[in-house]
Amino acid sequence: MHAELKRLSRSLIYHGRIIDLYVDEAEYPSGKRTVREVAHHPGGAAVVPLTGDGQVILVDQLRYPLERHILELPAGKLNPGEDPAHCAARELEEETGWIAGSLTRLCAFHTTPGFCDELLHVYLGRDLRVSPAGHKREEGEFTMSLRFVPLEETIEMITSGEITDGKTIIGLLLAARHNER
């Protein structure tokens, strides 16, 4: 912990399948105390699957907290000790039924550092081919559908507000920049 804030105590108030919630008591250098709520997440990985003709494979899926479907990159939670590139490849195949011949790391970023420690790794997937096994969606993913959208058009979809997911925005913008080189 940095000198600006010293953790005095930590209480686990919820242990879930995706996140653990903690309430910390902390102290500033002045001696004033404060409470911090922290969501611990194991991290995840996402992939921008880019076809040979410049189409991005996006997943249209229901996001329960939003009570609607949104367009996103294929992504998922890291398993304990899992390499983020492996996670990205696994999620691409599970959610879309496609396999990337190559993955290039674009970035890693903290999704919501004001209350959560999640670190999300983003990759560009190229040399795509259809998986012989097809997709391997979990029950909560059965309503997913795929949209193939030209990369240039996805940038316009960000600007218009059609794409609002943070990891998807970051991934698409970096993929577009990487594609310009």
Whole-structure pTM value: 0.92
Residues 21 and 74 in one domain: no
Evaluate whether residue 1 is within a structural domain: no
Q: How many CA atoms lie within 13 A of 103 on its CB side?
A: 24
What pLDDT does residue 137 have? 60
**83 and 118 part of one domain:** yes
CA 49 remoteness from chain centre: 14
Tell whether the torsion through CA atoms of 144, 148, 152 and 153 is positive or negative. Answer: negative
Q: Residue type at 181?
A: R
**Residue 161 in domain:** yes
Number of domains the chain is built from: 2
pLDDT in tens, 156-167: 999 999 999 999
Q: Which domain holds residue 22?
A: 6-40
10-residue block means of pLDDT along the chain (181 residues)?
83 96 96 96 98 96 91 96 97 94 98 96 97 70 85 97 98 92 67
Which one, of 114, 136, 108, 123, lies nearest residue 49 by Cα? 123
Contact 88, 46 (CB under 8 A): yes
pLDDT (tens digit per residue) in 79-102: 999 999 999 999 999 999 999 999
Do 17 and 103 sit in the same domain of this protein?
Answer: no
Question: How far, in Å, are 28, 46, 51, 78 from residue 101 at the CA level?
Answer: 50, 15, 11, 20
Adjacency order of strands within the sheet including 75-77: 75-77, 44-49, 119-130, 98-110
Q: From the candidates 67, 82, 118, 139, which is the catalytic residue?
A: 139
31 and 112 together in one domain: no
What H or E segment, with its residue span, contains residue 154? helix 151-160
β-pairing, 6-15 vs 20-27, is antiparallel
Active site residue 139: yes
